[in-house]
Amino acid sequence: MCRLLLNSQTKEEPMNTNYHHDLAAWAAHQADLLKAGRMQELDVENLIEEMQAMSRKEHRELMRRMGILIAHLLKWEFQPTHRGNSWRRTINDQRQEIADLLEDSPSLANHFDDYEWLQRAWERGVRQVETETGLNHFPDEMIWIISDILMKDFFQTA
């Protein structure tokens, strides 16, 4: 079946570069137009939409990773008898993923100066750990500073 689909498009048939039909082909075509300097042919409206969506995706990914990291740090602190390599690995993985995001998009670090953003990340982590553990005695506001949360050895001693 896949072979039929792959072979159904011949070299004579142009690839459909319509934004709503094939996003990957459309994006490749837009890149080709940019490289060739054919600015009048660009699909500007959809390019803008995609660029904004890409930015939102990076911001959401940072928030998601911070929530997971905070949840595991909370479990590490408030459930010391349950500490194990799985939590340690998750903490380290999330820190590395956050570092990778910041390396690719340094402007995302601006969120770390935004109290409201940090508070949302905290609340997200608290909700996650409450759901996972059934516990509900976690502080309403962030109890650690961001540099500690991201520090490699923070809460890694058992």
What pLDDT is stored for residue 52 in this prediction?
Answer: 94
pLDDT digits (tens, 9 = 90+) for 7-41: 444 444 455 678 888 999 999 999 999 999 999 99
Which tokens in the block code for residue 90?
């998750």
pLDDT 10s digits, 40-87: 999 999 999 999 999 999 999 999 999 999 999 999 999 999 999 999
Closest CA to 98 of 119, 121, 127: 121
pLDDT of res. 6: 46
- What is the pLDDT at residue 115? 96
**Domain definitions of the chain by residue range:** 2-41, 55-150
* Contacting residues for 56 by C-beta, under 8 A, at least 6 apart: none
- Is-contact 114 63, C-beta < 8 A? no
- How high is the pLDDT of residue 154? 84
Judged against a pLDDT cut of 70, whether residue 131 lies above it is answered with yes
CA 10 to chain CA centroid, Å, is 37
pLDDT bucket at 152, cuts 50 / 70 / 90:
confident
Q: Please report the pLDDT score of residue 15 as a whole number.
A: 57
pLDDT tens for residues 81-116?
999 999 999 999 999 999 999 999 999 999 999 999
Q: Tell me the torsion sign for CA atoms 120, 55, 151, 114.
A: negative
Q: Please say if the pLDDT value at position 5 is more than 70.
A: no
